[in-house]
Amino acid sequence: MPQHFEAAANPGGNLQKHIISQKNILIVDDEEDILELVEYNLIQEGYQTKKAASGEKALKLARADHPDLIILDLMLPGIDGLDVCRLLKTDPETTAIPVLMLTAKGEESDIVKGLGLGADDYVVKPFSPKVLIARVKNVLRRYDQPEAAKEEIIKYHDISVHPGRRQVTAAGKSIELTYSEFEILHFLIRHPGWVFTRNDIVDQVHGDNYPVTDRSVDVQIVGLRKKLGDAGKYIETVRGVGYRFIE
């Protein structure tokens, strides 16, 4: 096991976790020791796993098995992780599968690019298995909303948001958003008139202590406004504070 990783989780495991979880996770990395480390810790938490060492195999398994989550390295042979994410998020059959990027590429530009393509979270190597598991649980929890909440359609002005179907319309036109863009809009439109800092938005969309800068939030807001067209004006910048959805 490589020295730059922390010790694995408690090997004793917990039978109850195996019974309760039943979530299927696809791990994608071209380093066998990392595949084994991540798989070991996921199994200890009760998750079912499959592994892929290339982008091509990852796409094939994702389309065939529809896992509950994909843990995706960026630096892969053949099709790299960013292209895998883009292909997953533009394919109607796989667009709803959450993606957690796990990579040594920790520059701000890489984080912004990954989020812009629709990644749900981003963990940088070297990593702690405990932190990774916490992030996995956080992403899966966000997708396990109560059915009633998923069916609640939110409408303000000429924007309509359907959380369960992850559909957005503006002026009657369907708008295609990345995961992060959708979550930001959903968060803001549920609290019209309230002002939220960039940190508030990051914590709501990605969970506490997520390694995202103010600039990446601004980039996603710019992209969201552009896609909404004229309706983008309802997302207002509050100088020195953050953003709000206009009542």
Judge whether 42 lies within some domain. Answer: yes
Q: Would you give the end-to-end CA distance of the chain in angstroms?
A: 54
Based on the domain organization, do 35 and 91 belong to the same domain? yes
| Side chain identity at residue 89, one-letter code | K
Residues 151 and 215 in one domain: yes
Determine whether 77 is exposed, middle or buried from the number of CB atoms within 10 Å of its CB (0-12, 13-18, 19+): exposed
Between helices 81-90 and 55-65, what is the axis angle to 10°? 30
Q: Which residues of 116-144 are buried (b: 16+ CB within 10 A; e: fewer)?
A: bbbbbbbbebebebeebbebbbbbbebee
How many domains is the chain partitioned into structurally? 2
pLDDT at 36: 95
Q: How do residues 1-33 score in pLDDT, each as one tens digit?
A: 443 344 444 444 444 444 445 899 999 999 999
**Where a domain ends, among 109, 143, 177?**
143
pLDDT by residue (tens digit) across 117-149? 878 888 888 889 998 998 898 888 877 755 444
Look at strands 99-103 and 69-72 and give their pairing: parallel
Both 139 and 156 in one domain: the answer is no
* CATH classification at residue 60: 3.40.50.2300
One domain, residues 157 and 180 = yes
The residues, any chain, with a CB within 8 Å of residue 239's CB and separated by 6 or more, are none
> Which tens digits make up the pLDDT trace of 40-52?
999 999 999 999 9
**3-state SS assignment for residue 50:** strand
Is the whole-model pTM more than 0.85? no
Whether residue 156 is contained in a domain is answered as yes
Same domain, 54 and 130: yes
Residues 27 and 136 in one domain: yes
Residue 201 maps to a domain: yes
Domain enclosing residue 117, as ranges: 15-143
